[in-house]
Amino acid sequence: MSKHTKRILVADDDIDLLGQVKAVLEASGYQVTAAESEKEAERLLEQERPDLAVLDLMMENQDSGFVLSYKIKKKYPGTPVIIVTAVTSQTGIHFDTNGPDEQKWIKADAILEKDIRYEQLLGEVRRLLKE
Protein backbone atom coordinates (compact mmCIF):
# COMPACT_ATOMS: atom_id res chain seq x y z
CA MET A 1 0.00 0.00 0.00
CA SER A 2 1.29 3.45 -0.89
CA LYS A 3 2.22 5.87 1.84
CA HIS A 4 0.68 9.00 0.31
CA THR A 5 -2.34 10.58 1.94
CA LYS A 6 -5.51 9.54 0.12
CA ARG A 7 -7.37 12.40 -1.55
CA ILE A 8 -11.15 12.46 -1.27
CA LEU A 9 -13.49 14.73 -3.19
CA VAL A 10 -16.66 15.56 -1.25
CA ALA A 11 -19.50 17.32 -3.10
CA ASP A 12 -22.68 18.43 -1.31
CA ASP A 13 -24.79 21.58 -1.53
CA ASP A 14 -25.66 21.30 2.17
CA ILE A 15 -22.81 23.45 3.51
CA ASP A 16 -23.20 22.20 7.10
CA LEU A 17 -23.08 18.54 6.08
CA LEU A 18 -20.20 19.23 3.70
CA GLY A 19 -18.22 20.77 6.56
CA GLN A 20 -19.01 17.89 8.91
CA VAL A 21 -18.03 15.19 6.39
CA LYS A 22 -14.83 17.11 5.55
CA ALA A 23 -13.93 17.40 9.26
CA VAL A 24 -14.59 13.69 9.94
CA LEU A 25 -12.50 12.58 6.95
CA GLU A 26 -9.64 14.98 7.73
CA ALA A 27 -9.62 13.84 11.37
CA SER A 28 -9.13 10.30 10.00
CA GLY A 29 -6.07 11.39 8.02
CA TYR A 30 -7.52 12.01 4.56
CA GLN A 31 -6.86 15.06 2.39
CA VAL A 32 -10.30 16.44 1.46
CA THR A 33 -11.30 18.70 -1.39
CA ALA A 34 -14.81 20.09 -0.90
CA ALA A 35 -17.24 21.23 -3.60
CA GLU A 36 -20.56 22.96 -2.94
CA SER A 37 -22.07 22.07 -6.33
CA GLU A 38 -21.95 19.66 -9.25
CA LYS A 39 -20.29 22.37 -11.39
CA GLU A 40 -17.59 23.05 -8.78
CA ALA A 41 -16.92 19.31 -8.45
CA GLU A 42 -16.55 19.00 -12.23
CA ARG A 43 -14.03 21.87 -12.22
CA LEU A 44 -12.04 20.22 -9.41
CA LEU A 45 -12.04 16.88 -11.26
CA GLU A 46 -10.32 18.58 -14.20
CA GLN A 47 -7.49 19.66 -11.86
CA GLU A 48 -6.91 16.53 -9.79
CA ARG A 49 -7.80 12.86 -9.65
CA PRO A 50 -9.29 11.92 -6.28
CA ASP A 51 -8.61 8.52 -4.72
CA LEU A 52 -12.33 8.39 -3.80
CA ALA A 53 -15.40 10.63 -4.14
CA VAL A 54 -18.35 11.17 -1.77
CA LEU A 55 -21.21 12.78 -3.69
CA ASP A 56 -24.61 14.09 -2.70
CA LEU A 57 -27.26 12.79 -5.11
CA MET A 58 -29.35 15.95 -5.39
CA MET A 59 -27.52 19.25 -5.82
CA GLU A 60 -28.32 21.64 -8.73
CA ASN A 61 -30.18 18.79 -10.37
CA GLN A 62 -32.00 15.80 -8.94
CA ASP A 63 -29.41 13.49 -10.49
CA SER A 64 -26.22 15.54 -9.89
CA GLY A 65 -24.57 12.69 -7.95
CA PHE A 66 -25.32 10.14 -10.66
CA VAL A 67 -24.01 12.51 -13.36
CA LEU A 68 -20.81 13.22 -11.41
CA SER A 69 -20.32 9.53 -10.65
CA TYR A 70 -20.65 8.68 -14.34
CA LYS A 71 -18.12 11.38 -15.28
CA ILE A 72 -15.65 10.23 -12.61
CA LYS A 73 -15.90 6.58 -13.71
CA LYS A 74 -15.42 7.60 -17.34
CA LYS A 75 -12.39 9.86 -16.66
CA TYR A 76 -10.86 7.86 -13.77
CA PRO A 77 -12.21 4.28 -14.09
CA GLY A 78 -10.65 2.89 -10.89
CA THR A 79 -11.88 5.66 -8.59
CA PRO A 80 -14.47 4.48 -6.04
CA VAL A 81 -17.61 6.60 -5.60
CA ILE A 82 -19.98 6.81 -2.65
CA ILE A 83 -23.33 8.52 -3.24
CA VAL A 84 -25.09 10.02 -0.24
CA THR A 85 -28.82 10.64 -0.50
CA ALA A 86 -31.94 11.57 1.40
CA VAL A 87 -34.16 10.35 -1.47
CA THR A 88 -35.36 7.23 0.34
CA SER A 89 -36.49 9.12 3.43
CA GLN A 90 -38.12 11.84 1.29
CA THR A 91 -39.74 9.73 -1.44
CA GLY A 92 -39.56 6.07 -0.47
CA ILE A 93 -37.50 5.36 -3.61
CA HIS A 94 -34.61 3.05 -2.74
CA PHE A 95 -31.38 2.83 -4.72
CA ASP A 96 -28.78 0.17 -4.29
CA THR A 97 -25.73 -1.02 -6.16
CA ASN A 98 -26.05 -4.75 -5.57
CA GLY A 99 -28.07 -5.91 -8.58
CA PRO A 100 -26.72 -6.14 -12.14
CA ASP A 101 -29.49 -3.86 -13.46
CA GLU A 102 -28.62 -1.12 -10.97
CA GLN A 103 -24.90 -1.49 -11.65
CA LYS A 104 -25.52 -0.77 -15.34
CA TRP A 105 -26.86 2.71 -14.70
CA ILE A 106 -25.74 3.59 -11.15
CA LYS A 107 -22.01 4.15 -11.50
CA ALA A 108 -21.34 4.17 -7.78
CA ASP A 109 -19.66 1.68 -5.48
CA ALA A 110 -21.85 2.41 -2.45
CA ILE A 111 -24.97 4.39 -1.58
CA LEU A 112 -25.45 5.74 1.93
CA GLU A 113 -28.65 7.22 3.34
CA LYS A 114 -28.70 10.61 5.05
CA ASP A 115 -28.51 11.17 8.01
CA ILE A 116 -25.05 9.77 7.64
CA ARG A 117 -23.55 7.73 10.44
CA TYR A 118 -19.92 8.76 10.27
CA GLU A 119 -18.59 5.39 11.41
CA GLN A 120 -20.50 3.83 8.49
CA LEU A 121 -19.06 6.41 6.06
CA LEU A 122 -15.51 5.80 7.34
CA GLY A 123 -16.06 2.05 7.09
CA GLU A 124 -17.12 2.36 3.43
CA VAL A 125 -14.22 4.73 2.65
CA ARG A 126 -11.71 2.28 4.18
CA ARG A 127 -13.34 -0.70 2.43
CA LEU A 128 -13.31 0.98 -0.98
CA LEU A 129 -9.74 2.25 -0.54
CA LYS A 130 -8.76 -1.26 0.63
CA GLU A 131 -7.31 0.01 3.90
Q: Which domain holds residue 12?
A: 7-128
Look at residue 86 and give its three-state secondary structure: coil
- Least confident piece of the model among 56-65, 74-83, 84-93, 115-124: 84-93
Which residues are registered as beta bridge partners of 119?
A: none
Confidence (pTM): 0.85
Residue 1 forms part of a structural domain? no
Q: Long-range contacts of range 60-65, CB-CB < 8 Å, 24 or more positions apart?
A: 60/13, 64/11, 64/37, 64/38, 65/11, 65/108
Task: Give the strands of the sheet with 52-56, arranged side by side.
Answer: 31-35, 7-11, 52-56, 81-85, 110-113
CATH code for position 60: 3.40.50.2300
Residue 2 forms part of a structural domain? no
Q: Are 45 and 75 in contact (CB under 8 A)?
A: yes
- Number of domains, the chain: 1
17-70 tens-digit pLDDT: 999 999 999 999 999 999 999 999 999 999 999 999 999 988 988 888 889 999
- In the chain, what is the greatest distance between 2 CA atoms, to the nearest angstrom? 42
